[in-house]
Amino acid sequence: MSSERSGPAAAARAVELAARDSYGRLVAWLTSRCGDIAMAEDAMADALERALLTWPEQGIPARPETWLLTTARRRVIDGARRKETRTRAVDRLRVEAEEAVNTPFRRALPDRRLELMVLCAHPDIGVGVRTPLILQTVLGLDAKRIGEAFLVAPATMGQRLVRAKRQIRDMGLSLELPEPSDLGERLPHVLEAIYAAYGTGWDGAMDEGARGLSEEALWLARLVVHALPEEPEALGLLALISFAESRRAARRTPGGLFIPLDEQDTALWDHDLMLEGEKAVWIAAKYTNPGRFQIEASIQSVHAHRARSGRTDWPAIHRMYATLTRFYPSIGATIGYAASFGSLDRVHDGLAVLDGLSAEKVARHQPYWAVRAHLLRRAGDVAAADIALERAIGLSEDPAVRAWLLASRT
């Protein structure tokens, strides 16, 4: 422990960084020892709370992750004692955690996050709760943020998550990585959770905590590919995230103003990440089994090609969106398809695609209104475009995007 006191702001910052770097890793490791996700999460929450209380006075520890591990481990052991379920697993938890105090953190604890994600996607867990459960246990998102992402009331989502964790505990399910052939329906939920996590970080691009979430999602995508190198959709997801992340530096001016993709300076794109994306797309294509993430990654690959050619092949993007909406329909894919019509000077066809979406589902969907405003303006219907633009502005949570839309008003 550092001998110097730390101010509340510095201590809070240190706790945030430690949580970002270690939360999922510690929850997965604790769960693998005690078999109870909720107990592991409560232990981590308690450790983080104690850190906020003690680090300002006692100083930020030299090894924050180890401090959190030691504190959370005590909470798990105490909880097991209260429940009179002290087992050899808990004894092993004590021994291994004590050994970790004198061992570099990354070497002391094997990373069990992939096993935890696969456990949360177990076939006995309800289909609708698998991806949300991964988001909470591995990435620490709360029920409110998850509920908003899945259009479910936070209280309802919270109840579902609690029931799922209790089910895992009562069934005695353990953190074991099945054979690739046995993953079956689990893998899509794992990939969906990683993609949702990246999207959450992407939407909050100006927030440092959100950026950390995007980086974590990229790391997890790499982890899945490392464990399952012959899964084309895992490769597709890695490629998709790599392409998106490669443009982070170009998405904002130095003053924080939003820059749309087709106006970004390609010199600011991260070419190492683009190369990683291209490699993953190429390897996935060898399996001739294109899925949703592979198609979306291919669309982003075409955008990335502008860094070399200086132009965007919109007909190719349009064809890919047509395939995506045909085989993997979603609101996001349909909006992208509509926007691609606009890039081909077929704005009325794009508006017709948007008109086919459910009014209820798009009522509060910001991208829909932003694209609709763009197409209406291109079609010459300025009044209707202004109405749609106002809706898009009102629904924009990112201040930079909101400012960009405000500046585009007539």
Give the C-alpha separation, 198 to 201, whole Å. Answer: 5
Q: Supply the pLDDT for residue 2.
A: 52
Tokens of residue 188, six digits: 């899509």
Give Cβ neighbours of residue 224 (< 8 Å, ≥ 6 apart): 114, 190, 191, 194, 231, 234, 237, 238
Instruction: Decide: 33 and 93 in contact? Cβ < 8 Å.
Output: yes
Helix, strand or coil, per DSSP, at residue 258: strand
Question: b vs e for 98-118, b when ≥16 Cβ sit within 10 Å of the residue's Cβ?
Answer: eebeeeebeebbeebbbbbbb
Q: Supply the pLDDT for residue 228.
A: 86
Q: CB neighbours (10 Å) of residue 159?
A: 13
Q: Supply the pLDDT for residue 11.
A: 81
Give the C-alpha separation, 34 to 88, whole Å. Answer: 10
Q: Supply the pLDDT for residue 196.
A: 87
Amino acid type, 244: A
Instruction: Decide: 129 and 189 in contact? Cβ < 8 Å.
Output: no
Give the C-alpha separation, 251 to 312, whole Å. Answer: 17
Q: Supply the pLDDT for residue 142.
A: 84
Instruction: Decide: 101 and 66 in contact? Cβ < 8 Å.
Output: yes
Q: CB neighbours (10 Å) of residue 372?
A: 26
Give the C-alpha separation, 218 to 225, whole Å. Answer: 11
Helix (H) or strand (E) holding 93: helix 88-101
Helix, strand or coil, per DSSP, at residue 330: coil
Tokens of residue 392, six digits: 């898009």
Architecture of the domain whose range is 328-410: Alpha Horseshoe (1.25)
Give the C-alpha separation, 278 to 125, whole Å. Answer: 35
How many residues make up the chain in this entry? Answer: 410
pLDDT tens track of the chain, all 410 residues? 454 556 778 888 888 888 877 888 888 888 888 888 999 999 999 999 999 999 988 888 888 888 998 899 888 887 666 665 545 555 555 545 454 444 444 444 567 888 888 889 988 899 889 999 998 888 888 888 888 778 788 899 999 999 999 999 888 887 777 776 667 778 999 999 999 888 877 765 445 555 677 888 898 899 899 888 989 999 999 999 999 999 999 999 888 889 999 999 999 999 999 999 999 999 999 998 899 999 999 999 999 999 999 999 999 999 999 999 999 999 999 999 999 999 999 999 999 999 999 999 999 999 999 999 999 999 999 999 999 999 999 999 888 899 999 988 86
Task: Report residue 184 CA to chain centroid gap.
Answer: 22
Q: Supply the pLDDT for residue 83.
A: 60
Give Cβ neighbours of residue 144 (< 8 Å, ≥ 6 apart): 154
Query: Token pair 């709370």 is at which residue?
Result: 49
Give the C-alpha separation, 379 to 334, whole Å. Answer: 19
Helix, strand or coil, per DSSP, at residue 220: helix
Supply φ then ψ for residue 150, to 5 degrees: -105, 10
Helix, strand or coil, per DSSP, at residue 252: strand
H-state helical runs in 150-266: 154-171, 180-183, 186-203, 208-227, 232-246
- List 258's β-bridge partners, or say none: 252
Which of 4-12's residues contact partners 24+ apart within 8 Å by CB, and which partners? 4/59, 5/56, 5/57, 5/58, 5/59, 6/55, 6/56, 6/59, 6/60, 7/56, 8/56, 10/56, 10/60, 11/51, 11/52, 11/55, 11/56, 11/60, 12/52
